[in-house]
């Protein structure tokens, strides 16, 4: 594959194939083969214009476990504060030998601009752009669901017959967009649950059912409930409903959590607002996959970097 910018055009076969490569990567980690020589001599640049804990560190760990060199760039403390453009920043880093650029940016479309502008020749991975997409988060979410559903028999399978409820700040979430495209391609049925003020206007074009009533959706016992963070930093107007009302009506509180069958998994991409969209007991329960998602993220990003940099496939997108 040349770049990974979106999950929208990823075919079912391509997605399953990437998840299967991630299975292979996870197997090497379990056998305590901590480092594979696969990408020796390659350089991965983490180009982060927005804050991150999980994604940046996960990409760094993934690249290092494949023996690639890693250069970490954070806009904070860089010449971006002096007005240096995305083009000049990217070209400066490529001049230091970047084979792949992993970019997070507050502007939706920044990774595509980098990939299609001809400014750099390196492969581009979208690590989250504005409210647009976060493809590797969706891939690690799909991997986690498939693993919980099928265990050691996961290889080669999609998510057919699974019902996934995605709850929360749909409007500002890049995670939901990448998940909607990917999970539907893999055969899952998706219900979006949110206050009407946090549902995007174009949701009617998405392959989902929309509900404003979390209790109603939970009564249908979905296989997975994915809570999304309330993104206060992206709220330009007052957050409505307010936090107390949100938590009461759309939060996975203790009462709602205890009503779920033990087979329903509870997911969150992180970082979590405990007590707002998810209670501490739900987040820390055996049904929670929050930390599993982080662990799986390294294997999935190893697979994505491997496919991008090994020349194994020309195009995923």
Known binding-site positions for carbamoyl phosphate: 54-55, 104, 134, 137, 270-271
Q: Give the nearer residue to ligand CP in terms of CB position, either 40 or 76.
A: 76
- Nearest-10 Cα torsion for 68, 74, 79, 83: 120
Among 164, 269, 273, 298, binds ligand CP (CB under 6 A): 269
Terminal CA-to-CA distance of the chain, rounded, Å?
A: 7
Q: Tell me the closest approach of the beta carbon of residue 284 to ligand CP, in angstroms.
A: 18
Q: Does residue 128 bind ligand CP (CB under 6 A)? A: yes
The least CB distance from residue 53 to ligand CP, in Å, is: 4
Name which of 162, 131, 124 is nearest 144 in CA terms: 162
Give the residue, chosen from 6, 137, 185, 273, that forms a contact with ligand CP under the rule CB under 6 A.
Answer: 137
Phi-psi region of 185 (alpha: psi -120 to 50; beta: other; left: phi over 0): alpha
CB atoms within 10 A of CB 145: 25
Select from 149-157, 216-224, 267-275, 284-292 the region that touches ligand CP (CB under 6 A): 267-275
| Residue 155 CB, nearest approach to ligand CP (Å) | 25
Cβ proximity of 70 and 46 under 8 Å: yes
**Is the backbone peptide bond immediately before 129 cis, with ω within 30 degrees of 0?**
no
Give the shortest CB-153-to-ligand CP separation in angstroms: 28
Q: Is 271 in the site for ligand CP (CB under 6 A)?
A: yes
Output the smallest distance, CB 105 to ligand CP, in A.
Answer: 13
- Please give the Cα distance from 213 to 217 (Å, whole number): 7
Residue 72: other Cβ atoms inside 10 A: 14
Q: Kindly determine how many residues on this chain lie close enough to bind ligand CP according to the rule CB under 6 A.
A: 9
Annotated binding-site residues read 54-55, 82, 104, 134, 137, 174, 229, 270-271
> Smallest distance, Å, CB 158 to ligand CP?
23
The answer to whether residue 259 forms part of the interface with ligand CP (CB under 6 A) is no
Binding region for L-aspartate: 82, 174, 229
Q: Is 135 in the site for ligand CP (CB under 6 A)?
A: no
Q: Judged by CB, which is closer to ligand CP: 189, or 277?
A: 277
From residue 28 to residue 67, the character string flagging contacts with ligand CP as x (rule: CB under 6 A) and all else as - is: ------------------------xxxx------------
Q: Which residues of the chain form contacts with ligand CP (CB under 6 A)?
A: 52-55, 128, 137, 269-271
């Amino acid at each position: 594959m040349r770049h990974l910018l979106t999950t929208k055009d990823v075919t079912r076969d391509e997605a399953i194939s990437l998840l299967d490569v991630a299975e292979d990567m996870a197997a090497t980690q379990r056998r305590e083969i901590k480092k594979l020589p696969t990408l020796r001599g390659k350089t991965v640049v983490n180009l982060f214009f927005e804050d991150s804990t999980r994604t940046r560190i996960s990409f760094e760990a993934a690249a290092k476990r494949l023996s690639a060199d890693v250069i970490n760039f954070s806009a904070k403390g860089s010449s971006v504060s002096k007005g240096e453009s995305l083009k000049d920043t990217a070209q400066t880093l490529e001049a230091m030998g970047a084979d792949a650029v992993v970019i997070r940016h507050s502007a939706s479309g920044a990774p595509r601009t980098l990939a299609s502008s001809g400014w750099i020749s390196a492969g581009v991975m979208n690590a989250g752009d504005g409210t647009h997409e976060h493809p590797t988060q969706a891939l690690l979410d799909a991997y986690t669901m498939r693993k919980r559903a099928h265990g050691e028999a996961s290889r080669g399978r999609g998510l057919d017959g699974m019902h996934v409820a995605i709850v929360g700040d749909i409007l500002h979430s890049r995670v939901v967009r990448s998940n909607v495209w990917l999970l539907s391609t893999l055969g899952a049925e998706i219900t979006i649950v949110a206050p009407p003020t946090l549902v995007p206007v174009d949701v009617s074009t998405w392959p989902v059912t929309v509900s404003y009533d979390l209790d109603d959706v939970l009564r249908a016992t979905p296989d997975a409930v994915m809570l999304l963070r309330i993104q206060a930093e992206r709220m330009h107007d007052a957050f409505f409903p307010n936090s107390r009302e949100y938590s009461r009506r759309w939060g996975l509180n203790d009462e709602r959590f205890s009503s779920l069958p033990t087979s329903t998994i509870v997911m969150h991409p992180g970082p979590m607002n405990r007590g707002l969209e998810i209670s501490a007991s739900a987040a820390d329960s055996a049904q929670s996959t929050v930390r599993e998602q982080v662990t799986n993220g390294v294997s999935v990003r190893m697979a994505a970097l491997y496919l991008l940099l090994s020349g194994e496939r020309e195009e995923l997108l």
